[in-house]
Amino acid sequence: MTDAKPAAVSSMPTTGGILLDNVGYVYDDKTPWAHQALENISFTIDPGSRILIVGENGSGKSTLAWILAGLYKPTIGQAIRADKPLVEQTPNLGFLIQHTRLQLLSPTVGQEFSTFGITGSDAQTAMRSMGITNIHLSTRLENLSVGQQRRVGLAVLFARECPVIILDEPLAGLDRQGQTRIAEAVNALPHQTTVVTVTHDFEASAPLATDAIELTGGSVSKVWSL
């Protein structure tokens, strides 16, 4: 590793990339319970990049993930892609949460795909692309392991052709084999897809990315190439 800034993450705007400019986020803003989670976050992620966001618990990385997924609007600053705020692009941004079963709301695998208008052979093609060959569309999601649920979630995002995918602790709670399968699925995503992985486990997650951003106390403390 090196402390030099990599090409994929910089302070300069990039066409089609994600730009965070002086982003800050305050929970319960303008109330007695206000809490500053992020401040002075400024960087750009190039299209097609594979980025890790790492940090200890309370560093702000989960808040940043929700901003990148367009689910939180910065309290201050701007978070944009292709000249539009990320909060206006939420339907086109993919987000896979750690507790994936809470996100997959349908009874079966096939019904989860059909929620997004993806059926039959398109759904099966997406699953094969994510290395899923032994799960049928009729399989109930509750019968799948945690790792299988996450790969199904990835397959849905793949089929939706999301240009940006945010992964929240995708390897948490998995054994070595499960982690390897998730890594293989992430690496099978199209090269033009931007993938941001949020994790506290840098060592296990390093194969998912080429560059990393470390948060400390709600601010960027380090940017480096893996």
What local confidence, expressed as pLDDT, does residue 82 receive? 87
Predicted confidence (pLDDT) per residue in 122-180, tens digit: 999 999 999 999 999 999 999 999 999 999 999 999 999 999 999 999 999 999 999 99
* DSSP string over 20-89: EEEEEEEETTTSTT-EEEEEEEEEEE-TT-EEEEE--TTSSHHHHHHHHTTSS--SEEEEEETTEEGGG-
Q: Is 180 exposed, middle or buried (0-12, 13-18, 19+ CB in 10 A)?
A: middle
Domain ranges of the chain: 9-225
Share of the chain above pLDDT 90, in %: 88
For the question of whether the overall pTM of this predicted structure is more than 0.75, the answer is yes
Q: Which CATH class is domain 9-225?
A: alpha beta
Catalytic residue among 169, 184, 203, 214: 169
Residues of the chain where predicted confidence (pLDDT) is lower than 50: 1-7
What local confidence, expressed as pLDDT, does residue 15 receive? 60
Q: What is the DSSP letter of 16?
A: T
Specify whether 169 is catalytic: yes
